[in-house]
């Protein structure tokens, strides 16, 4: 089970999702030039730093989607004997990762924070969901490669 490459790729997806949920990874920063107000969007919460105080808002949808992605990846690892189901779970996971990227967009650029008077930028950590897509793609490719190998062995018998 561990010796298969797709297991390692799915473990990478699980590790990245756990890191996204439990660490303070800021992926978007918006700053108002006039007032000095600053907004940091993390995977688990949005922090608003204003001159009159600061506030937090939890990003429950991002947390939920990342947790489901980690759970499905772990389920995909445990389904190593049923390659068709493993491919199905990884494909559903692919769609959820795309949903996570869309939700990141909605939490960052989808909201106009300062009506055009601020500076907005993504951090390098915004690329982590792209690595989720890459590792999930490699896992699906590995499962299909195993399926092809098993079919060729059945033909030889």
CATH of domain 5-146: 1.20.140.150
Nearest alpha carbon to residue 112 among 47, 57, 30: 30
Structure tokens belonging to residue 3: 């010796």
Share of the chain above pLDDT 70, in %: 89
pLDDT for the residue 157: 60
Tokens 């993504």 belong to: 122
pLDDT for the residue 29: 84
For the chain, list residues with pLDDT below 70: 1-3, 51-53, 110-117, 156-157
pTM of the model: 0.83
pLDDT for the residue 132: 93
Structure tokens belonging to residue 128: 């982590």
pLDDT for the residue 89: 93
pLDDT for the residue 113: 65
Residues 34-72: tens digit of each pLDDT: 777 888 888 777 777 776 667 777 788 888 999 999 999
From start to end of the chain, where are the E strands?
26-32, 38-42, 45-50, 53-58, 118-122
Helix (H/G/I), strand (E/B), else coil: 16: helix
């Amino acid at each position: 089970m561990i010796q298969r490459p797709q297991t390692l790729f799915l473990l990478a997806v699980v590790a990245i999702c756990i890191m996204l949920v439990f660490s303070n990874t800021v992926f978007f920063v918006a700053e108002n030039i006039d007032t000095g107000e600053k907004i940091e969007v993390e995977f688990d919460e949005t922090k608003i730093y204003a001159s009159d105080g600061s506030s937090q808002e939890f990003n429950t949808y991002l947390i939920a989607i990342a947790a489901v992605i980690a759970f499905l990846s772990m389920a995909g690892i445990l389904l190593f004997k049923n390659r068709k189901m493993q491919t199905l779970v990884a494909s559903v996971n692919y769609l959820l990762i795309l949903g996570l990227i869309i939700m990141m967009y909605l939490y960052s650029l989808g909201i106009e924070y300062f009506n055009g008077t601020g500076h907005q930028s993504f951090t390098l950590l915004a690329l982590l969901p792209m690595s989720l897509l890459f590792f999930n793609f490699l896992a699906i490719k590995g499962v299909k490669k195993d399926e092809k190998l098993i079919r060729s062995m059945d033909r030889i018998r």
